[in-house]
Amino acid sequence: MSRIFITGSSDGLGFLAAKFLIEEGHRVVLHARNSDRAKETISRIKDAENIVTGDLSSITQTKQVAEQVNTLGLFDAVIFNAGIGTHESKRIQTEDGLSQIFAVNSLAPYILTCLINKPKRMVYTSSGLHKGGDSSLKDLNWTDRKWDGMAAYSDSKLHNLILAFAVARKWPDVLSNALEPGWVPTKMGGPGAPDSLEEGAKTQVWLAAGQDKEALVSGHYFYHKKLKNFNSAASDPNIQEIFLSECNRLSGVSFPVQ
C-alpha cells in the first residue's frame, strides 16, 4: 500500500486517479484550490485520507500547499496533475506578476517538487502539445511575446517534461516520469474529446503505484502505459538547467541538491 498526494484532484483526471488508487487500497491526500472546492471534493471521495488547499497561481499559496503536505508526513508518490488550459484570450497576470498559465502549469510543479519532502516517485502530467513548445525558454512569462494561449499552454507542457527529466537526472533515488493523458473529456478538454479519461488516470495510477517492471523506471514519457516519443529538448541537461535556474529566479525557491 502506498501513500500518494495528487494536485488538482477536485475533478477530472486527478479526481478519477484518486478514486482508482483508493479502490486499490492506497492512502490518498487530495488537493483543491480553495476551501469550498475542498469541502465538495471530500464529500465525493469520503475515503480520502485528507485534503489540502491552495491556489497554485500564487507562489505564497503554493509554498503553503507544500507545508501542509509535509505536515502530514512522508509520501510514496506525488502526482502533479493540476493545470489550466488554453481558454485565455489574453494574458492573465497573477498576484506575483506572472502569466497564470505559467504560474499554475509550470512554476507550481517546480516549487512543490523542491519543497515537498522527497517521495519515492514523481509523476508529471504533460500533453502531446508539448512537442510544439518553445525549447529556447526565452520569455517564459510571456511579457515580450504577443499572447497566444495555445502556445503558452504548449510551452507549459514542455516545461513539465523538462522538469520530470531533470528530477530523474538529478535525483537517481526517485522514479520521475511524465505522461500524456491524451485529449480527454475534462473541463479543459471538453465533452467531445476523443481519448479515454480512464486510461489517462490509470496511467497516472500505474506510474505512482504500479509494481510491474515497466512502471519501475525513471526519465520516461508515457501514453496509456506505453512509451511515447517526445520533444528531445526535454532530455537536454543544458535546457533543464536553464529551466531550473529561471524557476529559481522567478520563485525564490532553489532546486535542492541531492
For residue 171, what pLDDT is reported?
98
Distance CA 54, CA 33 (A): 5
Residues 6 or more apart whose Cβ sits within 8 Å of residue 252: 59
90 is catalytic: no
**74 pLDDT above the threshold of 60:** yes
| Catalytic residue, candidates 157, 202, 221, 223 | 157
**190 pLDDT above the threshold of 80:** no
For residue 232, what pLDDT is reported?
97
Q: Which residue has the higher pLDDT, 186 or 207?
A: 207
Domain-by-domain residue ranges, the chain? 3-251
Distance CA 20, CA 201 (A): 8
153 is catalytic: yes
Q: Which phi and psi angles does 219 have, rounded to 5°?
A: 75, 35
- The answer to whether 3 and 22 have CB atoms below 8 angstroms apart is no
The per-residue pLDDT of the chain, averaged, comes to 94
CA angle in degrees (0–180, nearest 5) for 199-204-206: 90
**79 pLDDT above the threshold of 60:** yes
The grid cell for 70 is 509535509
Can you give the pTM of this predicted structure?
A: 0.95
| Catalytic residue, candidates 124, 153, 221, 223 | 153
CATH superfamily of 3-251: NAD(P)-binding Rossmann-like Domain (3.40.50.720)
Indicate the pLDDT class of residue 95, thresholds 50, 70 and 90.
very high
